[in-house]
Structure 1
């Protein structure tokens, strides 16, 4: 089972997304910020980091740089509701997929990022 490291300082959002990911067959590890995400990655493995953009101890772009430099085989996706053009353009410059936290296609995009195929296709149904 592929592991997603979910990084968000909002515990309610983090728990909600974790349940959604687990329901769709992913293993989920949680971190409440950039520092705790780095601590996790030093000792554990993940195939994908899904990070909030703005957190008290840093931001998703800083975490992306850390992951990209130290763990180049780990995928990365920004999850945010801050979809201003400047944020989207910066994510595009970095080559980081960006998705709204409330997106109905979030699971599909995560499955593609992990190259596992759609969990809905595996179950023979559409989202």
Structure 2
């Protein structure tokens, strides 16, 4: 059973799709525009969003963009009665799983949702395997059996899934880099580079500008 969020400003489509997918055993929620859908997703993520493109307040393309930022792995299927090549191209560039023309064939849409769920399952299975492999060289490299260390291991695994900046604090030699590397290895960004910077090699002002940038003309001379 999947959690599906149906987004359309037309009540008839919301009701139709709710009946179709509830009949297949899925958990259904509905929203009448993109803004309302983002509020729904923020409170309780969905596996798939099925959304119209043309809606008031926030259209389907904007919803796709924001949903992908919140949940990179969420499935998104867009549908519209006013399809254009440019709209379809933009949707796929932003990561839509499919683009359906209204009026649509119900069985075709059900097949699209099924394939999207199968793709998600495969991605999750592959990620779980890679995660298990990485654990051998990440958290396992941090020695400690105490309750406090176990709490740290749990925190590492928790924050690794967060799409946000993580600040690791501690005395010199306590293993901050090991923790940072473990967070990276267990995160969805594990295949991207891990860059370690020796902050002690920079002056405070130079490090600040290197990490956060600076406004042109801020320096004299």
- TM-score (norm. length: structure 1): 0.83
- Contact residue 9 and residue 32 of structure 1 kept, 8 A: yes
Choose which of 103, 106, 110 in structure 2 pairs with 1:107.
110
**What is aligned with 2:54?**
54
Higher relative CO (Cα under 8 Å, sequence separation at least 6) belongs to 1
Stretches of structure 2 that go unaligned for 5 or more consecutive residues are 120-221
Tell me the matched-pair count.
116
Aligned counterparts of 1:92 and 1:72: Cα–Cα separation in 2: 14
Deviation track 1:46-82 (CA, whole Å, cap 9, x = no partner) reads 1011111010112111001111111112111102222
Q: CA deviation at 1:85?
A: 2.0
Which residue matches 1:98?
Answer: 99
Higher helix share: 2
Name the structure with the higher strand share. Answer: 1
CA RMSD, 1 decimal: 1.6
Deviates more, 1:63-72 or 1:101-110: 101-110
Provide the C-alpha distance between the structure 1 equivalents of 2:72 and 2:91, rounded to a whole number of angstroms.
17
Structure 1 unpaired stretches of 5+? 117-127
TM alignment of 1:13-92, pairs within 5 A: 13-92=13-92
Give, in whole Å, the separation in 2 of the partners of 1:53 and 1:94: 13
Give me the TM-score of the superposition, normalised by structure 2: 0.49
Question: Which deviates more from structure 2 when the two are superposed, residues 34-43 or residues 95-104?
Answer: 95-104
Is the 2:65–2:94 contact (alpha carbons within 8 Å) kept by the matching residues of 1? no
2:9 is the counterpart of 1:6: no
1:61-108 deviation line (CA, Å, top 9, x unaligned): 100111111111211110222222222222232231101242241100
